[in-house]
Amino acid sequence: MSMFLIYDAEKYEYILQPGGYLLLAFILLALLASIRLFGAKSGPSKPGTKRLVFCSMSMALAMVTSFIKLASLPYGGSITLFSMLFISLIGYFYGAKTGILTGIAYGILQLITGPYIYAPLQVLLDYPLAFGALGLSGLFPKTKHGFMVGYTASVLGRYLCHVVSGYIFFAEYAPEGMNALVYTFLYNLTYILPELVATIILLSIPATAKAMTQVKQQAVSL
């Protein structure tokens, strides 16, 4: 394990080693290759290279906006400048499968740039599964206001992953006398809900909705 992780007894967490970073980079490249492969098999109207470019751009935009934090919580979690929106867009453009893969890749990228490793299951819940859930935005393509509904569902999916992780691994941070499950529900809600509401308001603006439709047309066209 020392090639990949070393346990820091003072910080009560695992520290990534060069081998760990290399492994994560390999997984990230494999996920990107899978996204391109799925695009190539999906038909001439959705070429793999173009799909990979849009997915990579969305990840880059999400990464940049994730650093623009309007508020940060002491034990992780922050309100960002619509970073979740950019990953959810991929599910809206190309469907849930590509959206989930892109979200998982983005979760790996988040893990590389800002790792917090308490336990293997915690890593899965807080990084690839939580961000992979943002691809669930592609589950409602034919529903009225499909992207808004899908975005809400995807953010809820991410929220539940963090709640489970918080309850299992970080219950000790709950204030004395407060139920641990209630604490993790409220804690994660304090940064997920404001960004969700702000994004829904943004998507409700007619000009934004029109722009989303135009971008989607460009994404799926030749």
Mean of all residue pLDDT scores within the chain: 90
Confirm if 161 and 125 have CB atoms less than 8 A apart: yes
Angle between helices 180-204 and 83-94 (to 10 degrees): 70
Residues with Cβ within 8 Å of residue 142, at least 6 apart in sequence: none
What predicted TM-score, i.e. pTM, was given to this entire model?
0.92
C-alpha closest to that of 155 among 83, 94, 209: 83
pLDDT at 44: 46
Q: What is the pLDDT of residues 58-91, one digit of tens each?
A: 999 999 999 999 998 888 889 999 999 999 999 9
Q: What is the pLDDT of residues 104-147, one digit of tens each?
A: 999 999 999 999 999 989 999 999 999 999 999 999 877 778 88
Structure tokens at 112: 């590389």
CA distances from 58 to 12, 51, 91, 192 (A): 34, 11, 11, 19
C-alpha closest to that of 88 among 98, 80, 74: 98
Of all residues in the chain, the percent with pLDDT exceeding 70 is 95
Cα 49 from Cα 39, distance rounded (Å): 7
